[in-house]
Amino acid sequence: MFVHGRIGVFVRKAGMLSEVRQEPDLTSEADLRAAEVVRPEDVLRLNTITQDYLCKPSANIYDIEFTRFKIRDLDTDQVLFEIEKPADDASEREDQPTEAARYVRYRFSEDFLHLKRVGATVEFIVGNKPINKFRMVERHFFKDRLLKSFDFEFGFCIPNSKNTCEHIYEFPHLSPEL
């Protein structure tokens, strides 16, 4: 049994919220991958995990780079998963990003689903442009069933900054048939 999650990152530009989309609401991964703009509202309507990222690496105009990710059991403080980009990878940052560099694979056993609370720490750096209203959407699925959806707004991010935050998750009760 595996729990899958995907993080979507969005930056709202001033005035963008009042724009009206001329095309119909998009609800499939294929529709969103073909769209010029992917909005948080589009992602929040998805009813299954995506098989791939919805945006190309070239869409990362703010040069946001996730450099560390850690998941821990808050009741025991046991680190369940941690990955950090090596500091000497800075030279790769200036090259064109590769698709492989965007993926972090992690799998948890069924025991993970019995935890009560976990902390997820994410560290990211921002390029040389300031970011207003940086928003991250997380949707956690198990067997194509949405377990939990989170919508975080970081607000303003300073150019050339390293940012760290920990989100606390209370796990929902799962029925035995899952």
- For 87-128, write each residue's pLDDT tens digit: 765 545 555 556 666 777 777 888 888 899 999 999 999 999
Closest CA to 152 of 162, 161, 139, 141: 139
* Token pair of 99 as six digits: 């698709």
CA atoms within 13 A on the CB side of 78: 7
pLDDT digits (tens, 9 = 90+) for 23-64: 556 678 898 888 888 888 998 988 888 888 888 888 899 999
Residues in the chain: 178
Cα separation, 1 vs 3, whole angstroms:
7
Phi, psi at 129, each rounded to 5°: -110, 140
Cα angle 122, 123, 127; round to 5: 135
Domains of the chain in sequence order: 4-18+25-170 (2.70.50.40)
Cα separation, 174 vs 140, whole angstroms:
13
Residue 135 near residue 9 (C-beta atoms within 8 A): yes
Q: What is the pTM of this model?
A: 0.73
